[in-house]
Amino acid sequence: MTHQQRTWHKSSYSDGGGGNCVEVAEGPTTHLRDTQHRALAEMNLPAHEWSAFLTTLTR
């Protein structure tokens, strides 16, 4: 799937008021990017690692 075909949404874990937002595109690989610097880079994690990361955050 190319960069343009992904369905991105603002992460519910982002700080909506301060402009510090992260966008997420979920699937077999979860893609993360900085809303203010979309074209610079993105981080990619296998879905099971993304799930483990979120589980750790909510403990």
* Residue 4 counted as domain residue: no
Which pLDDT belongs to residue 30?
93
Tell if the pTM clears 0.75, that is, is over it: no
* Residue 1 counted as domain residue: no
How confident is the model over 2-27, as pLDDT tens digits? Answer: 555 889 988 776 666 666 788 889 88
* 50 DSSP 8-state letter: H
Which pLDDT belongs to residue 18?
64
> Domain range spanning residue 35?
9-56
Which pLDDT belongs to residue 4?
57
Looking at residues 31-45, what average pLDDT do you find?
90
Q: Could you give the CA distance from residue 42 to residue 26 in angstroms, rounded to a whole number?
A: 13
* Residue 2 counted as domain residue: no
* Residue 3 counted as domain residue: no
Which pLDDT belongs to residue 36?
85
